[in-house]
Amino acid sequence: MPRRSARPQPDRTVDLPCHTRACPTCAGPLWSATTAKRTVVTLEGLVRLQLQIRSCRNPDCPRRGACLRPEQEGRFALPQHEFGLDVIATVGRLRHAEHRSVPEIHAELVRRGVPICARSVANLLDRYDELLALSASDTERLRRVTAAAGRVILAIDGLQPDVGHEVLWVIRDVLSGEVLLARSLLSSCQDDLAKLLREVKAALAVPIVGIVSDGQMSIRNAVAAALPGVPHQLCHFHYLREAALPVYEADRHAKVQLKKKVRGIRPIERKLEGRDDPEAEAVRGYCAAVRSALTDDGRPPLEASGLKLADRLTAVATSLDRVAAKRGSRTN
């Protein structure tokens, strides 16, 4: 049925780079081939995905011209799908764990602000059942979808639309874009995840050359246990946050030390009480500048509030030095 109303504007845009830089087949450089856009309906609103697509230009490479899409795209939605995996996971949970009917699930999604019609809910339920039916024991299918590339880069994602309920674990192949295995688990302990990874590994006829995840500890341990030696790349967002942690700690420490050096603003202000001459006004201005520098916090990890404080205090000190030099007095 054609869409009869204009599609609403996306609530947010997410840039998804393609992190793989070397051709998985010939190891040569991958070039940015094109960008693509798609809009996905998620539980958190309409998300516009901006996708960077890379390809190999080596004329001798069997993968020449084959497009590699961003590794994280499949976390949002299945290929060609309008609704996000989180919506599908929710539909499946409401149906199978809470035994709700399609009209009830529809009502619940509408209540959560998901623009969806009842017929789409029934379709999503079919997709959920299909997804869960993908089994690693169907080795023929797994071998068929991974044969062309001759290797796989796995991506593992856990979708938990509602805290405290089961997690839909999806293991994809980044190179073919196919879901290899999906399972709904109540626990997400590393042993369960390692079991899933081992199932996939045992069913494949081609090597696993890499794995991409958000890097949560249970996944890391599961990967180390089930796929020893396979390079594990963290999703860049999580990776950055992780890498920034020691920097953040050092910055916080620096800020504490800096703050110790600029105590005693209040006594200076007290001494000025009752004075309104230009000098008193100037000193008050400096006090205010130091005070506001102390409370101007950056948002970690991208803004280092210690460095920011250092910058602002340096500016105040430089200005005071200039005043002192003009007066010809010694700075203190």
Can you give the binding site for Zn ion, defined by CB under 5 A? 23, 25-26, 28, 56, 58, 61, 63
Q: Tell me the DSSP string of 148-188.
A: TTSSEEEEEEEE-SSTTS-EEEEEEETTT--EEEEEEES--
80 φ, ψ to 5°? 65, 15
Tell me whether residue 26 or residue 225 sits nearer to Zn ion (CB atom). Answer: 26
Q: Which two tokens stand for residue 140?
A: 């023929």
- Which of 68/154 has CB closer to Zn ion? 68
Shortest distance, position 232 Cβ to Zn ion, whole Å: 22
Q: How far is the CB of 61 from Zn ion (least distance, A)?
A: 3
Which residue lies nearer to Zn ion by CB, 41 or 153? Answer: 153
CB of 12 to Zn ion, least distance (A): 34
Nearer to Zn ion, 60 or 273 (CB): 60
State whether residue 59 is helix, strand or coil: coil
Question: Shortest gap between Cβ of 55 and Zn ion (angstroms)?
Answer: 9
Of the candidates 169, 180, 11, the one whose C-alpha atom is nearest the C-alpha of residue 92 is: 169
Closest to Zn ion by CB, 63 vs 75, is 63
Question: Cα separation of 284 and 272, whole Å?
Answer: 8
Closest to Zn ion by CB, 116 vs 174, is 174
| Residue whose CB is less far from Zn ion, 231 or 264 | 231
Q: Give least dist CB 71 to Zn ion, A.
A: 17
Rounded least distance, CB 321 to Zn ion, Å: 59
Tell me, what DSSP letter sits at residue 12?
Answer: E
Contact yes or no for 168/60 (Cβ under 8 A): no
- Quick one: angle between helices 190-203 and 217-226, nearest 10? 40
Measured distance CA(4)–CA(282) in Å, rounded = 65
Minimum gap (Å) between residue 26 Cβ and Zn ion: 3
Q: How far is CA 60 from CA 27, 55, 66, 114, 175, in A?
A: 12, 13, 13, 47, 19
Q: Which residue has the tokens 């149906």?
A: 95
- Integer Cα distance of 332 and 329 in angstroms: 9
Closer residue to Zn ion in complex, CB, 28/150 = 28
Q: How far is the CB of 155 from Zn ion (least distance, A)?
A: 20
How many CB atoms are located within 10 Å of the residue 254 CB?
16
Q: Is 290 exposed, middle or buried (0-12, 13-18, 19+ CB in 10 A)?
A: middle
